[in-house]
Amino acid sequence: MLPVILSIGFIMRAPITTLPLMLKELATNLHVAQSQLGILTTLPLVMFLLFSNFASVVLNRFGFKKAMMLALGMLTAGSFLRLIITMPTMLVGTCLIGIGIAHLNVFMPSLVAAYFPTRIGLYTTFYSFAMIFGNAIFNLITAPVARAFGWKSMMWLLVLTTVLALIGWLLVMTWLPEKIQHRQKNQTDHAKSNLHVWNNKHAWPFLLTFGAQATMNYTFSAWMPALMAFHHVSADIIGVITASFALIGLPIAIFLPQLLVVLNKKGKNILIGSASISGVIAAAMLFVQNTSAVAFWMTESLLGGFAISVFFIFTMTMFAVKTDDPYATAKLSGMAQAGGYLMSAFGPSLYGLAFAANPTGNLQNSVYLALVLVAFISSLMIVRIEKV
């Protein structure tokens, strides 16, 4: 079971984050301007927004085994479709990939809660680490592999990883017991009556925490390279600093989920406080950013990356810890991710408008600081909640 969980985690980000690294080559093959392909980086986020909230319905209708198979099947089909280099196939393929990953984002915390209820922290560590590691590995190998074998070789490599994950799950399905059976009508009505998460005041802190960290993450990833370039930081250094922003999440993914399971409320509050202090310092540094010093921007990246990673892993772990059954986990996770991605969808575009008006303006820096405070306060509220 563990190798399959790792293989699924490995493909939960890479199919989305790898393509933007090859937009120049793709634009050349499609005979379009590179700027016209920006939609390919936006579509997955839109799919997350549209489908996350309904993933629990799919899970309840089909159960874990078939629902996971369908999600992995869509992801694999989308990857294959993108091997046909036309604009329609790239758009449809990217949509299918986004839909598949949107469901996997919701299913994985529920799967951990269902099959490993006494080891939630450990197995959250496994798939979170695989997700971050897969993203980092593909980011690191894309340029050298594309130079050596052509950029289409990376598209085939993405297909191979998704096929392996799908085959692994199909093999597991032959012996894995089903933890969510299709409910009878009266059972479904009773269960759903207690799971109106959008009307549940205890669910909203999860949405706010997830949304705040996602907004910071996507905005930071989209615009920090441009901000560093504005201050005349070299392209090579920007690449290293950007990689450090992603890689700092690896040790956090390894140690934090298991730690969150054993820490008491005071310990969790201290952990959240440390992440918040890190985020506040990172936000404050942007008010005095007029420098090209590598140490300044590396510190900014590490502090921001630490805060964002802690809030992300904290929320993903608490989805399972703070709910009573896998279906409730899926409902809460779907609601928080749908609302959170709605928040984050506006981040990069609004920052872009502010950046165009004033690249070093205090407006965007103030919003960054406010998002850290939102994540801090809502995380403290999550700690106080016994069960959603």
Q: What is the CATH number of the domain that holds 249?
A: 1.20.1250.20
Q: Are residues 287 and 332 in the same domain?
A: yes
Taking only the tens of pLDDT, the chain with its 388 residues reads: 889 999 999 999 888 878 877 877 888 888 887 667 777 877 888 898 889 888 888 888 888 889 999 999 999 999 999 999 899 999 999 999 999 999 999 899 888 888 888 888 888 888 888 988 888 888 778 878 888 898 899 999 999 999 999 999 999 988 888 776 655 444 444 444 355 788 888 999 999 999 999 999 888 877 888 888 889 988 778 877 887 888 888 899 888 988 998 899 999 999 999 999 999 999 999 999 888 899 999 999 999 999 999 999 999 899 988 888 888 888 898 899 888 988 887 888 788 888 888 888 889 999 999 999 999 999 999 999 988 7
* Domain end marker among 150, 182, 214: 182
* Domain end marker among 121, 150, 182: 182
Q: Is residue 187 part of a domain?
A: no
In angstroms, the Cα distances linking 87 to 75, 150, 163, 301 are 18, 20, 23, 35
**E-state strands within 4-162:** none
In angstroms, the Cα distances linking 274 to 43, 212, 279, 280, 310 are 34, 17, 9, 10, 9
Q: Are residues 321 and 285 in the same domain?
A: yes
DSSP class of 370: H
Q: Is residue 139 part of a domain?
A: yes
* Domain end marker among 127, 157, 182: 182
CB 27 within 8 A of CB 36: yes
Q: Is residue 285 part of a domain?
A: yes
Range of the domain at 125: 2-182
Q: Is residue 190 part of a domain?
A: no
Q: Are residues 305 and 334 in the same domain?
A: yes
Question: What is the structure's pLDDT at 378?
Answer: 97
Q: What is the dihedral of CA 168, 174, 178, 182, to 10 degrees?
A: 100
Q: Are residues 171 and 71 in the same domain?
A: yes
Question: What is the structure's pLDDT at 210?
Answer: 94
Question: What is the structure's pLDDT at 199?
Answer: 85
Q: Are residues 149 and 235 in the same domain?
A: no
In angstroms, the Cα distances linking 280 to 206, 234, 300 are 20, 26, 11
CB 118 within 8 A of CB 225: no
Q: Quick one: how far is CA 27 from the chain centroid?
A: 26
Token output for 65: 């085994």
Cα-atom radius of gyration of the chain, to the nearest Å? 20
Of 94, 110, 109, 89, give the one whose Cα is nearest residue 47.
94
Q: Are residues 177 and 202 in the same domain?
A: no
Q: Is residue 191 part of a domain?
A: no
Q: Are residues 18 and 126 in the same domain?
A: yes
Q: Are residues 118 and 59 in the same domain?
A: yes
Q: Are residues 230 and 88 in the same domain?
A: no
Q: Is residue 189 part of a domain?
A: no
Q: Is residue 329 part of a domain?
A: yes
Single pTM value for the model: 0.82
Question: What is the structure's pLDDT at 324?
Answer: 83
Q: Are residues 71 and 147 in the same domain?
A: yes
How far is residue 130's CA from residue 11's CA, in Å, rounded to a whole number? 8
Instruction: Give the CA diameter of the chain.
Output: 64
Domain count, the chain: 2
Of 321, 342, 346, give the one whose Cα is nearest residue 332.
321
Question: Does the CA dihedral 369-370-375-381 come out positive or negative?
Answer: positive
Question: What is the structure's pLDDT at 380?
Answer: 96
Q: Is residue 284 part of a domain?
A: yes
Q: Are residues 57 and 201 in the same domain?
A: no
Q: Are residues 202 and 154 in the same domain?
A: no
Tokens 């420098």 label which residue? 291
Of 7, 113, 97, give the one whose Cα is nearest residue 51.
97
Token output for 102: 């949107």
